[in-house]
Amino acid sequence: MAIGEERVRVLGWEGCLNVRDLGGYASRYGGETRWGAVIRADNLARLTEAGRRDLLAHGVRTVIDLRMPEEVRLHPNPFAKEGEHGVRYHNISFLDPAVPKEDFTTLANDYKWMLDTFSASVAEVMRVIASAPEGAVLFHCMGGKDRTGLISALLLEVAGVDRETIAADYALTQECLRPEWEAWLESEPDKREERERELAKYMPTKEVMLEVLEYLDERYGGPIEYLRRAGVSEEELERIRARLVPIED
């Protein structure tokens, strides 16, 4: 999906599978979302040295790690410690492991529960993005699918991107993670059928994200109102929008 040099949706940073630039999406505010402004990703601990160089070359200067403390301990973020890389690192756990999780019914219902229960974490992520210094902002979890997918959808809503496009961006994770999923299925052939059923339960389809966004409409009056009620200010929303979309006077 290249649109000229450097303008590529899926970024092939060695070690990671699900790194994507949120640029190039049409906005109702005019034009397109900026390339190289906001990046969504999977677990950065997987990056090779070459992958880390690519991240820095892409202009990333802020990293927001959405993982829980135990995940961070087991898979340390390569940018967590201050160094010559010049990246500002923030660990804002989307989930609180102390909060009992609801029984799984559907992936969409899982997401609704996450947004209802951890709105304070979502607001904190938004505030960091709003106040981030010059340079690209990258946020990530483990697979770049669930926590990262929800933050991406909310950001694209703030940027004025249409829902079909937001849902398609979310579903692109299928393509990115397919090699990993296929390797998992093939690793134990006798369990393939069982594992295929498990994957199907958690598959990131467009319909899942569309259902979640509709839920935010019904319960909160829309994703933007959800963010306001979570504590994100109008000034912060405007700063996020300005980071994502070139606003003409």
Within a domain: 86: yes
Q: What is the pLDDT of residues 129-170, one digit of tens each?
A: 999 999 999 999 999 999 999 999 999 999 999 999 999 999
Within a domain: 6: no
Within a domain: 75: yes
Within a domain: 118: yes
The set of residues, in sequence order, having a beta carbon less than 8 Å from that of 237 and lying 6+ positions away, is 126, 130, 158, 224, 227, 228
Within a domain: 14: no
**Token match 């981030």: residue?**
132
Q: Quick check: pTM over 0.75? A: yes
Which H or E element spans position 136? strand 136-140
**How many domains does one find in the chain?**
1
Q: Any idea what the Cα angle at residue 64 is, between residues 21 and 153, rounded to 5°?
A: 50
Angle between helices 163-171 and 173-187 (to 10 degrees): 30
The set of residues, in sequence order, having a beta carbon less than 8 Å from that of 206 and lying 6+ positions away, is 164, 167, 168, 170, 171
The whole domain housing 224 covers 20-242
Alpha-carbon distance of 140 to 149, in angstroms, equals 9
Within a domain: 15: no
**CATH, residue 158:** 3.90.190.10
Within a domain: 211: yes
Within a domain: 12: no
Q: What is the pLDDT of residue 198?
A: 86
Q: What is the pLDDT of residues 117-137, one digit of tens each?
A: 999 999 999 999 999 999 999
**Rounded mean pLDDT, 210-217:** 99
